[in-house]
């Protein structure tokens, strides 16, 4: 059963979020991995090494799709999305937290 009485406000119910050093480290690692994967997907499909790999050798039926400029462009677009996510996470990490600002103003 729920207690009878006034409901607590949103501020009273919300628990403070504490970002510790391992959360920041995990975010930095996520940013680095996301940026590196994005850069790889952006550049590698257009390099000469793209045609010389074992994936096409396993299944020659996908050769037309693999060599298609549309497929390469889609992978490069996915790389741009990864780079965008990593840059957005950098700005989110640098943004001051509002719970710290409220505490310092009181």
pLDDT, tens digit, 9 for 90 and up, residues 40-66: 999 999 998 888 888 888 887 888 888
Residue 10 lies in a domain: no
Q: How far apart are the first and last CA of the chain?
A: 36
Work out the pLDDT band at 102, boundaries 50, 70, 90: low
**What does the pLDDT read at residue 10?**
53
11 within domain boundaries = no
pLDDT of residue 16 exceeding 50, the answer is no
Buried b (16+ CB within 10 A) or exposed e, 55-82: ebeeeeeeeeebeeeeebeebbeebeeb
Instruction: Give helix 69-94 / helix 21-43 axis angle, nearest 10°.
Output: 160
> How many structural domains compose the chain?
1
> Per-residue pLDDT for 84 more than 50?
yes
List the one residue out of 14, 30, 33 whose CA is nearest residue 92. 30
Q: Is the pTM of this model over 0.85?
A: no
Q: What are the tokens at 6?
A: 């006034």
3 located within any domain: no
Q: DSSP assignment, residue 67?
A: T
In a domain, 69, yes or no: yes
Q: Specify the pLDDT at position 7.
A: 67
* Residues spanned by the domain of 62: 21-105
Reply yes or no on whether the pLDDT at 67 is more than 50.
Answer: yes
- Per-residue pLDDT at 64: 87
């Amino acid at each position: 059963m729920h207690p009878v009485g006034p409901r607590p406000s949103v501020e009273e119910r919300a628990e403070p979020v504490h970002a510790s050093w391992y959360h920041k480290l995990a975010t930095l690692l996520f940013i680095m991995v996301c940026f590196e994967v994005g850069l790889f997907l952006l550049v590698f499909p257009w390099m000469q090494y793209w045609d010389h790999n074992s994936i096409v050798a396993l299944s020659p039926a996908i050769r037309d799709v693999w060599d298609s400029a549309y497929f390469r462009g889609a992978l490069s677009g996915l790389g741009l999305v990864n780079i965008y996510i990593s840059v957005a996470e950098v700005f989110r990490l640098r943004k001051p937290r509002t719970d710290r600002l409220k505490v310092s103003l009181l």
